[in-house]
């Protein structure tokens, strides 16, 4: 089929390769990372120098050949962003979307979901901004201005970075008193908040979660990227922390490891981002229901911005791959809707071009968790206990949303007997 990425993706890849190739072998991260780690382990030997020689003799020549091949592809590449440009592209996207969201929603339904929820969330953001006297400009423009307000930024120093870590740890400490009202079962493993290692932060996301060790020797960890503290205004930290640690990813993924009846393959398995990311978004909203934002309206605004971002993903992903949107139109929509940094949004959109459907899994999963809870409330009435619902959903372990629906339905049927 001679399928190649769009020209702008090849250009980005080539730029990154040229940057890597332009570094002296001894200064390459491929060599320095080995030197640093072997020194920390106290290993004797010239590991760093040996790695540098391999980089010069083998890695860089291979990289030169790869850049030449990509350059040839670039000369023949097109600018069209979506897979609809490909033969059977529509069928390809339908399969990719179903794999990502694990439900039978159509691309048009996902697109409408993003538009409708984006409109509703934006209205809530507008009301909160107006209460703070911020009325000029679109919601996105006001959010970008808020992100640059010095009173909400930490110093871009080691001390400022430690303040961010301390603040996030304080959020988790304050959360603990609320958890017994919402969960019977919680993971025994603790979760730590750590800085993304400086040598990897340039290419790392803003935050990510690492599961505990199966044998309990390592806790769960939320890694937060502190490469530039201006990317992390204080009001954006609560929802990120709740999403990545507790009661988000840590509560679901660490708990799974502690279930004695679950086979190892289920504990180690993954690939159901609509379930796991949907739960983490649901957890963000749950913290609002707990009252954690009652004295922090800006934190609630940060939560809503994160939510509208996920709704916009549904619009843009389906727009790119089904409705013929260009890369530029998709970027403009994200900028106009979310209020996030344009450079970061450009990277986001280009990622959607390479991974059709995946970006939709977050909001579809969030919506499905809410739908299942509403269903449980409706069928159980006065017998509904949110702790029971959470326990059933979490101990089921990550699975396709269509299967999770059957698990919840079976539980509700058993409760009705």
Residues 139 and 199 in one domain: yes
Give the pLDDT of residue 269.
67
Give the pLDDT of residue 56.
97
Does a structural domain hold residue 221? yes
Residues 132 and 69 in one domain: no
pLDDT digit string (tens) for 92-131?
999 999 999 999 999 999 999 999 999 999 999 999 999 9
Does a structural domain hold residue 344? yes
Q: Which of 362, 394, 411 is the last residue of a domain?
A: 362
Give the pLDDT of residue 177.
97
Give the pLDDT of residue 368.
98
The percent of residues in the chain predicted with pLDDT above 90, rounded, is 90
Question: Given the structure tokens 């970061």, which residue do they identify?
Answer: 344
Give the pLDDT of residue 202.
75
Q: Kindly report the CA angle at 69 between 66 and 75, in degrees rounded to 5?
A: 140
With cut-offs at 50, 70 and 90, classify the pLDDT of residue 265.
confident
Residues 290 and 241 in one domain: yes
Residue 1: pLDDT above 60? no
Residue 364: pLDDT above 70? yes
Residues 289 and 188 in one domain: yes
Domain range for 58 is: 7-79
Tell the burial category of 163 from Cβ atoms under 10 Å away from its Cβ (0-12, 13-18, 19+).
middle
With cut-offs at 50, 70 and 90, classify the pLDDT of residue 157.
very high
Q: Which of 46, 79, 112 is the last residue of a domain?
A: 79
Residues 26 and 160 in one domain: no
Residues 136 and 282 in one domain: yes
Average pLDDT (326-342) is 96
- Which of 131-135, 262-266, 296-300, 331-335 has the weakest average pLDDT? 262-266
The three-state (H, E, C) secondary structure of 106-144, written as one string? CHHHHHHHHHHHHHHHHHHHHHHHHHCCCCCCCHHHHHH
CB 339 within 8 A of CB 129: no
Residues 179 and 227 in one domain: yes
Give the pLDDT of residue 268.
76
Residue 403: pLDDT above 60? yes
Does a structural domain hold residue 279? yes
Residue 247: pLDDT above 80? yes
Q: Which of 362, 378, 403 is the last residue of a domain?
A: 362
- Quick one: which of 273, 267, 272, 239 has its CA closest to 253? 267
Residues 152 and 192 in one domain: yes
Q: Which residues pair with 209 in a beta bridge?
A: 222
With cut-offs at 50, 70 and 90, classify the pLDDT of residue 205.
confident
Does a structural domain hold residue 25? yes
Residues 117 and 43 in one domain: no
Average pLDDT (184-192) is 97
Does a structural domain hold residue 98? yes
Does a structural domain hold residue 417? no
Give the pLDDT of residue 256.
93
Average pLDDT of the chain?
95
Q: What are the backbone angles phi and psi of residue 42, rounded to the nearest 5°?
A: 70, 25
Does a structural domain hold residue 371? no
Q: Kindly report the CA angle at 147 between 146 and 153, in degrees rounded to 5?
A: 110
Give the pLDDT of residue 200.
78
Q: Rounded to whole angstroms, how far apart are CA atoms 400 and 269?
A: 12
With cut-offs at 50, 70 and 90, classify the pLDDT of residue 197.
confident
Which range has the top average pLDDT, 19-33, 126-140, 187-201?
Answer: 126-140
Residue 417: pLDDT above 70? no
Does a structural domain hold residue 125? yes
Average pLDDT (154-174) is 98
CB 339 within 8 A of CB 139: yes
pLDDT digit string (tens) for 31-54?
999 999 999 999 999 999 999 999
Q: Rounded to whole angstroms, how far apart are CA atoms 211 and 167?
A: 22
The percent of residues in the chain predicted with pLDDT above 70, rounded, is 99
Q: Rounded to whole angstroms, how far apart are CA atoms 265 and 56?
A: 41
| Cα-based torsion angle of the residue sequence 361, 366, 370, 376 in order, rounded to the nearest 10 degrees | 60
Average pLDDT (360-378) is 98
With cut-offs at 50, 70 and 90, classify the pLDDT of residue 2.
confident
Looking only at the bridges linking them, the beta strands covering 220-224 and 191-195 are: parallel
CB 288 within 8 A of CB 298: no
Residues 50 and 156 in one domain: no
Q: Which residues pair with 222 in a beta bridge?
A: 193, 209
What angle, rounded to 10 degrees, do the helices at 237-244 and 273-289 form?
130
Average pLDDT (217-239) is 96
Average pLDDT (157-177) is 97
Question: Given the structure tokens 């911005």, which residue do they identify?
Answer: 305
Tell the burial category of 20 from Cβ atoms under 10 Å away from its Cβ (0-12, 13-18, 19+).
middle
The domain total for the chain is 2
Average pLDDT (67-76) is 94
Pairwise pLDDT comparison (329 vs 202), residue with the higher score:
329
Q: Rounded to whole angstroms, how far apart are CA atoms 286 and 279?
A: 10
With cut-offs at 50, 70 and 90, classify the pLDDT of residue 290.
very high
- Which of 138-142, 204-208, 267-271 has the weakest average pLDDT? 267-271
Residues 190 and 160 in one domain: yes
- The secondary structure of 152-209 as a DSSP string is G---SSHHHHHHHHHHHHHHHHHHGGGGGGT-S---SS-EEEEEPPTTTGGGS-SEEE
Residues 74 and 142 in one domain: no
Residue 168: pLDDT above 90? yes
Average pLDDT (299-304) is 98
Residue 87: pLDDT above 70? yes
CB 229 within 8 A of CB 153: yes
């Amino acid at each position: 089929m001679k399928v190649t990425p769009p020209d702008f993706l090849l250009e980005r890849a080539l730029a990154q390769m040229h940057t890597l190739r332009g570094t002296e072998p001894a200064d390459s991260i491929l060599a320095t990372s080995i030197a640093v780690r072997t020194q920390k382990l106290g290993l004797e030997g010239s590991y760093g120098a040996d790695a540098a020689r391999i980089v010069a003799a083998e890695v860089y020549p291979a990289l030169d050949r790869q850049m030449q091949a990509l350059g040839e592809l670039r000369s023949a590449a097109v600018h069209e962003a979506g897979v609809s440009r490909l033969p059977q592209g529509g069928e390809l996207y339908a399969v990719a979307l179903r794999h990502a969201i694990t439900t039978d929603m159509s691309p048009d339904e996902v697109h409408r979901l993003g538009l409708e929820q984006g409109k509703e969330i934006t209205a809530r953001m507008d009301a909160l901004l107006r209460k703070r006297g911020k009325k000029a400009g679109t919601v996105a423009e006001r959010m970008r201005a808020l992100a640059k307000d010095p009173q909400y930024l930490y110093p871009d120093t080691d001390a400022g970075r430690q303040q961010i870590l301390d603040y996030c740890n304080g959020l988790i400490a304050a959360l603990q008193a609320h958890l017994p009202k919402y969960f019977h079962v919680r993971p025994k493993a603790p979760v730590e908040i750590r800085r993304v290692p400086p040598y990897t932060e340039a290419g790392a996301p803003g935050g990510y979660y690492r599961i505990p060790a199966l044998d309990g020797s390592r806790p769960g960890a939320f890694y937060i990227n502190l490469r530039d503290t201006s990317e992390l205004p204080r009001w954006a930290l609560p929802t990120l922390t709740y999403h990545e640690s507790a009661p988000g990813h840590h509560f679901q993924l660490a708990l799974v490891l502690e279930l004695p009846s679950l086979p190892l393959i289920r504990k180690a398995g993954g690939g159901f981002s609509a379930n796991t990311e949907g739960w983490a978004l649901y957890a963000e909203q749950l913290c609002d229901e707990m009252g954690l934002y009652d004295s922090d309206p800006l934190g609630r605004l940060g939560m809503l911005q994160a939510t509208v971002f996920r709704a916009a993903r549904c619009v843009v992903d389906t727009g790119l791959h089904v409705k013929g949107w260009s890369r530029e139109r998709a970027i403009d929509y994200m900028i106009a809707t979310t209020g996030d940094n344009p450079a970061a949004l450009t990277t986001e959109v280009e990622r959607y071009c390479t991974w059709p459907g995946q970006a939709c899994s977050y909001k579809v999963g969030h919506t499905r968790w809410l739908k299942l809870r509403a269903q449980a409330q409706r069928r159980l009435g006065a017998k509904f206990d949110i702790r029971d619902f959470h326990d059933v959903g979490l101990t089921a372990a990550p699975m396709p949303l269509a299967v999770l629906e059957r698990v919840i339905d079976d539980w509700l049927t058993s409760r009705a007997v």
